[in-house]
Structure 1
């Protein structure tokens, strides 16, 4: 058998950029222990970490080290003390500089609790270093989050703000502990379940189930409950896996682009997740009135909503730690002229085409609720009661903007939104 050279696949060029593993987590002790274990497994690996306890004063401390050597320890003064400035002015330039000066070494970026992994990805997508994209120098291989078995559930259920724990990154940083913990896990592709010899195996199993409900797309790496840790085995499971997909949208944009936001797996006796999808819009007043009840028993809520009184707007929804956040995600495609659709991603247009409704277009609600012992029937009945009735639908969409709307003016759209 002969092979036609004109039809054979061209060889794929080797990627010689240093691979970056981003390590996050809300428990500093567990994150640092995981970082040390990964460093021990490869003495050529270089770890970069930042102490941001003085970030509000415009000062951060950077440490660069390997398993055997303290390479750098520097104090950096920023023009503005904020997370975005820290990433843009020091974190990303440090990655690029180390990639250039030590091109044969991979990098481990260890994030402090106040910096979320998605912020790193966003900064990479919108920042240049010496006039070039960050990804010209490094390859982001995996985003790994360390979940501390002894405190994760408490933090996810906490009603504390970062300010309550002196972890806020700026005076206007109003994020909650639960929100940050949820974001860290949701953006990752790999979760280290960090446990100790005294960890209850049943609690560890329940933790694994909860993490799977939060991120069913992520790979879980348990460390076990023995007194020893296989550093090489751990490093093999979290480094150079190629799990990070730079095209994957953030959580609030996932459903719009056709990605799953949760499994529908209600479990009245344990950790469950409820996925609610509907083409019928919400009545704004009834939705507003039920929000506290709706999220009261859920550890995490996320998705996007269609509200009848604001038919042009995709409304993003999040809840964690008793707090609720809603905001505009831009226009529904059905509300835009076709010539503006090209400003959105190919994936979103494809997802809209696959689910297009001849009357509603791409308008629909996709909402996930995750928690312990959720009452699926009661939650679904409550959500259904917030939708427009048959009579309200029959009145016509021209009447919907006149419905009583506590959300009026809360989700403004601009000409640049798509």
Structure 2
């Protein structure tokens, strides 16, 4: 029985200003290619339940106004975008689908939905994810060279910028960093900035997405169909291409530079003893100045069974749950864990604490790595406290824990109001 080829999908993303102009320009250029269909959902009226969907193919443009019972991004995905991908993939005239994403759409969420959300009710098609019919060929992200680094290191919320949809409490930095971190290729747009600033931006990108080719352009007019196709062709075979990594995946992807250039450096922090929760809470302030992003797995002395995930962007930070340590699982649950995770844990297994450890990666652009390492080392339990962790966990459980039900920063008040637990990877402000 012949295996049907899945239709490739290219997602184009960009956050506000020049970057969103870039999304429109690149989509217009790619739709000139034969067999390419470009789809855009305009979500500016989403709160009123209105979505405008435009499809371009073979020089023809069609726009349809969709009225949704619930005006939200998730409903737009489920009710229209995913079924549309399945229908387009079935057409012989469609060789490639390009999604020009509205800023309210996150490429990562779209890719996750393609692989995981069941599409039902299409005549002649067995119900199942759109990923059976299409595959993500590339995520192409546009960024503004003059504003991206400031956005990625600030603490302004989307609401404060006037860009938030209903119930969206994310920060500008989370969106700016997240879009670039998920990209397979980048288009950096804007007139020449200060030489040092541009060099610093280049070094940040080289560490955040080391495998992603970058097209630098001062003028969108110089970026045509041929240039975009060449950029897509430069994406390495092993690039991410829409894959979703969980909290136990390697923290360093690709081969990023490990040295310091123009003040930009990747800081790796590892420890085989847990953090003291109160000292960690105080030490985390070191991640809010001169740091683009930090992420990793943590072991808290007061939560010996839980893998705690930390993720920051600019001035916002979120801590959430990432499941349990293998050492805290029953044997049948360990047997079902990812084999790669079990293999890595076996290499560093401790007779007392099992696979529990701390592993963080911090991308700094204007901070002293020694200060960050010093603060995090200070937050680790001392020798006498470690003995309590081993011999009297019931006493350790009584310690004050600002992360009792996870945490977000900046704190809601001086008493460190707890946040609700997140999914595998803590997100949101």
Q: Which TM-score tier does this pair reach, normalised by the shorter chain?
A: 0.7 to 0.9
- Distance in 2, matches of 1:200 and 1:129, equals 49
Partner of residue 50, structure 1 = 41
Show the 5 A alignment for 1:139-178: 139-170=135-166, 172-178=167-173
| Equivalent of residue 29 in structure 1, options 21, 27, 32 | 21
Partner of residue 410, structure 2 = none
Deviation at 1:67, TM superposition (A): 6.9
3-state SS, counterpart of residue 165 of structure 2: coil
| Equivalent of residue 236 in structure 1, options 230, 250, 273 | 230
Deviation at 1:409, TM superposition (A): 3.2
Partner of residue 182, structure 2 = 187
- Distance in 2, matches of 1:217 and 1:240, equals 10
- Distance in 2, matches of 1:140 and 1:169, equals 26
TM-score normalised per structure 1: 0.86
Partner of residue 5, structure 1 = none
Per-residue CA deviations over 1:249-273 (Å, capped at 9, x if unaligned) read 43xx35x133526957363842222
Per-residue CA deviations over 1:263-310 (Å, capped at 9, x if unaligned) read 573638422221111111100000011222333221212112111111
Partner of residue 411, structure 2 = none
Partner of residue 50, structure 2 = 59
User: Does 1:105 pair with 2:119?
Assistant: no
Query: 8 Å contact 1:267–1:373 — kept in the other structure?
Result: no
> Please, which runs of 5 or more residues in structure 1 have no aligned partner?
1-11
Partner of residue 356, structure 1 = 349
Per-residue CA deviations over 1:213-247 (Å, capped at 9, x if unaligned) read 21224333334669633531322322695655579
- Distance in 1, matches of 2:219 and 2:45, equals 35
User: Does 1:221 pair with 2:212?
Assistant: no
Per-residue CA deviations over 1:46-70 (Å, capped at 9, x if unaligned) read 1111111122222211111147321
Number of paired residues?
398
Deviation at 1:158, TM superposition (A): 3.0
Deviation at 1:394, TM superposition (A): 2.2
Deviates more, 1:133-142 or 1:304-313: 133-142
User: Does 1:84 pair with 2:77?
Assistant: no
- Distance in 2, matches of 1:247 and 1:200, equals 33
3-state SS, counterpart of residue 101 of structure 1: coil
3-state SS, counterpart of residue 173 of structure 1: coil
Partner of residue 309, structure 1 = 302
- Distance in 2, matches of 1:223 and 1:138, equals 31
RMSD between superposed Cα atoms in Å: 2.9
Partner of residue 269, structure 2 = 276
Say if 1:286 and 1:67 are closer, same or farther in 2 by CA, change over 3 A: farther
Query: 8 Å contact 1:313–1:413 — kept in the other structure?
Result: no
- Distance in 1, matches of 2:102 and 2:119, equals 22
> Please, which runs of 5 or more residues in structure 2 have no aligned partner?
121-126, 408-419, 425-429
Partner of residue 121, structure 1 = 111
Say if 1:404 and 1:125 are closer, same or farther in 2 by CA, change over 3 A: same
- Distance in 2, matches of 1:30 and 1:14, equals 36
Deviation at 1:312, TM superposition (A): 0.9
TM-score normalised per structure 2: 0.84
3-state SS, counterpart of residue 358 of structure 1: coil
Say if 1:413 and 1:232 are closer, same or farther in 2 by CA, change over 3 A: closer
Query: 8 Å contact 1:266–1:374 — kept in the other structure?
Result: no
3-state SS, counterpart of residue 402 of structure 1: coil
- Distance in 1, matches of 2:252 and 2:349, equals 17
User: Does 1:68 pair with 2:64?
Assistant: no
3-state SS, counterpart of residue 270 of structure 2: strand
